[in-house]
Amino acid sequence: MEKSQSAVRKAETIRTVVRKEGREFPIEGFCDPKFAPVREAFETNYRVEEEVGSCASVVVDGAPVVDLWGGFKDEACTKPWERDTIVCVMSVTKGVAAITFNSLLDRGLVELDAPVAKYWPEFAQAGKEKLPVRYILDHRAGLPIITEDLPRGSIFDWKAMTGALARQKPLWEPGTKAGYHVENQGFLLGEITRRVTGKTLPVVYTEEIGRPLGLDFQIGGLSEADQARCAEVIPNYKGTLLSAVIDAPQSMLAQTWKTWPEGTHGQVINSPQWRTAEISSGNGHGAARAIARLYGAMARGGEVDGIRILSEAAVKQMTTEQHNMVEVMMGRSYHQALGVLLNSPPIVWMGPNPKAFGHHGVGGSLGMGDREAKLGFCYAVNRWHPLPDNGPRARRLIEAIYRCL
């Protein structure tokens, strides 16, 4: 659980109920009176959206000012979402992994423009001898899918996935196009991390970031006790990147899922295999307060409560735009930085500051920071919305936050 954090401002303890269509959704937590509109927005999501369970947290200048959770952990609405409930935040994980990897750059263990093959010699195959680390972080490597015919379930086989990526020829000349590496970014960054440190990326995260900051967030490796705390993820195919499986089964995006085991995505994401595997691009589990605290540290130049995660120079480098291409997997325009995104409306809207940064997850979850406002924010949800963007739930919360600042 979290260590002692910056002194919590005078806050109102929340314990209420939102009623909708004959069902009562419990809401708990705390909220600084100045941020009452955020509480109201959180409750409104249950009144007007298809919310089942969620949590949201706001950190300003290192101090938590909002920490709310509500609804239910399960689709049947029988298990209330509790303070220690954790949920899979999907690609919000990429932002946490990016901060972790940027800490390796910060310490000089990895060079941004060095060839990946300098650290991972087997990667120097099929024309990838000079492919730089930078292109892994900004999705220009040309390796968004596995083209080799691997067995179903290979996503849980680290050696199979990294071996195939090492052998594979890029789908385009690296650097010339962007294509969202939905799952593969985690394997690529993870293997570089393993070769450089001798540790997995999740272990580096835990030792260097998660434990020092007291974050209730993990990338894979969940114990049985932690799995018992997990909210049930309730996917939605319509409107999300999963829709390609049904609407365009021959598309490049649909091929992303061919390494997954048989079964529905919900069955996979809620399985013990998913919760314990190393998939640093998608299977982070945690509470919103953990991700908000991490981004809150980044928004303060990499430090909070005397604990420095990145140097100010490293934060600046991580949040410097690399390109603003339309990525080829889903045709979305991203202001792409080094592993994190910059504010990229309409797909990833992060408030009025174009320099806000973070990462979204399929279905509506979002973690973000704003250095000008010294803001860290996270919204995490179990029921996905049928949209390719942040959606109205996160937007309603973000709009309320900025009205309060």
List active site positions.
91
Paired tokens of 4: 């002692």
**Closest alpha carbon to 386 in 181, 186, 225, 243:** 243
Q: What does the alpha-carbon distance between residue 100 and residue 224 come to, in Å, rounded to a whole number?
A: 25
Do the beta carbons of residue 326 and residue 336 sit within 8 Å? Answer: no
The structure tokens 């969940």 sit at 222
Do the beta carbons of residue 158 and residue 200 sit within 8 Å? Answer: no
The structure tokens 């298809």 sit at 50
Burial level of 98, CB count in 10 A (0-12/13-18/19+)? buried
Paired tokens of 80: 């209330």
357-360 and 341-342 strand pairing: antiparallel
If DSSP codes are grouped into helix, strand and coil, which group holds residue 60? strand
Do the beta carbons of residue 60 and residue 374 sit within 8 Å? Answer: yes
Do the beta carbons of residue 125 and residue 166 sit within 8 Å? Answer: yes
Name 12's bridge partners.
31
What amino acid is encoded at 104 in this protein?
Answer: L
- CA 333 to chain centroid, in Å, comes to 18
Residue 223 CB contacts under 8 Å (≥ 6 apart), including other chains:
none
Residue 39 CB contacts under 8 Å (≥ 6 apart), including other chains:
14, 31, 66, 68
Paired tokens of 361: 């997850």
